[in-house]
């Protein structure tokens, strides 16, 4: 069987989870990997819990069902921890990266996190300080690159430069690059 890295994103509508799943796919493309990115389809309501998925592999991916047992779970909004079962379907050693000001150890103590590798990154603060908007997706992609090693930081930065560079000013692009870089640097955990 082919080795596929499976990622599930938890967020609220408007926090950029679908964009993050898509951007991660674009990074995978730039690294000559195969990929898939898709949201859980349904009505999109700002603020409501949503889920998106990314698969990454060195070989073509030919499975199209929703991800049941993700290797990585990224939580864009820490308030979801009390309302959504973010570790559903995850196995022993699955990695959970949470946008939070708290220390990873504090969240790792939650019962559902038993046996998981928990990391936190203050992604909303980073977003507010860099891109000046509370959209925590780009710092989380930086954190994912650091924790997973599935692609290098430089690969993410190059992709952000290319994709945002087409539409936005240097100022916006640089702010996003800072957000990715700081996510990479400031993520911490077990």
Partner 1 sequence: MSRKAMTGNGAIAIALKQVEPDVMSAYPITPQTEIAQNYAQFVADGAVKTEYIAVESEHSAMSAAIGSAAAGARTITATSSQGFALMWEMLFIAASLRLPITMPVITRALSGPINIHCDHSDSMGGRDCGWVQLYGEDAQEGYDNAIQAFRIAEHMDVRLPVMTMIDGFIISGAIGPLDVLEDEQVKQFVGPYKAIHPLLDVDNPVTVGAFDSLGGWYFEHKVTQNMAMAKAMDVIGGVGREYGQLTGREYSHFKTHHIEDAEIVLVAIGSAAGNVKTMVDKLRDHDVKVGMMKVRTFRPFPAAQIAAALSGAKIIGVMDRSDSFGALGGPLFMEIRSAMFELGARPQIYNFIYGLGGRDIFPDDIEGAVRLLEKAAAGEKITQKRYYLNVREVSLDGQA
Q: Which is nearer to partner 1, 28 or 179 (CB)?
A: 28
Backbone φ, ψ for residue 112 (5° rounding): -70, -10
Q: What is the C-alpha to C-alpha distance for residues 121 and 141, in angstroms, rounded to an integer? A: 11
Q: Taking the complex as a whole, how short is the minimal distance between the CB of residue 173 and partner 1, in angstroms?
A: 19
The answer to whether 71 touches 92, Cβ cutoff 8 Å, is no
Residue located via tokens 């949201």: 39
| Segment 97 to 156, residues that bind partner 1, using CB under 8 A | none
Take residue 24 and report the two structure tokens written for it: 């991660």
Parallel/antiparallel/unpaired status of strands 72-75 and 34-39: unpaired
Q: Which is nearer to partner 1, 40 or 129 (CB)?
A: 40
Q: Taking the complex as a whole, how short is the minimal distance between the CB of residue 4 and partner 1, in angstroms?
A: 9
Q: Which is nearer to partner 1, 77 or 159 (CB)?
A: 159
| Residues near partner 1 (CB under 8 A), total | 22
Q: What is the C-alpha to C-alpha distance for residues 167 and 184, in angstroms, rounded to an integer? A: 24
| Residue 91 makes contact with partner 1 by CB under 8 A | no
**Total Cβ atoms within 10 A of residue 64:** 8
| Residue 29 makes contact with partner 1 by CB under 8 A | yes
Query: Which residue, among 168, 167, 118, has the nearest Cα to 143 in the 3D structure?
Result: 118
Q: Which is nearer to partner 1, 63 or 105 (CB)?
A: 63
| Segment 31 to 90, residues that bind partner 1, using CB under 8 A | 34-39, 41, 60-66, 68
- Applying CB under 8 A, which residues contact partner 1? 1-2, 21-22, 25-26, 29, 34-39, 41, 60-66, 68
């Amino acid at each position: 069987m082919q080795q596929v890295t499976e990622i599930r994103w938890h967020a609220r509508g408007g926090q950029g989870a679908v964009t993050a799943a898509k951007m991660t796919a674009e990074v995978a493309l730039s690294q000559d990997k195969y990929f898939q990115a898709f949201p859980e389809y349904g009505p999109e309501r700002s603020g409501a819990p949503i889920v998106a998925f990314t698969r990454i592999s060195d070989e073509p991916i030919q499975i199209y069902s929703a991800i049941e047992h993700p290797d990585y779970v990224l939580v864009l909004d820490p308030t979801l921890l009390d309302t959504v079962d973010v570790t559903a379907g995850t196995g022993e050693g699955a990695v959970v990266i949470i946008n939070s000001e708290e220390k990873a150890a504090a969240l790792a103590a939650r019962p559902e996190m038993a046996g998981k590798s928990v990391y936190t990154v203050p992604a909303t603060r980073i977003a507010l300080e860099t891109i000046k908007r509370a959209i925590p997706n780009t710092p989380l992609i930086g954190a994912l690159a650091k924790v997973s090693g599935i692609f290098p930081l430089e690969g993410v930065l190059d992709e952000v430069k290319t994709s945002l560079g087409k539409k936005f000013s240097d100022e916006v692009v640089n702010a996003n690059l800072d957000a990715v870089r700081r996510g990479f640097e400031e993520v911490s955990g077990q």
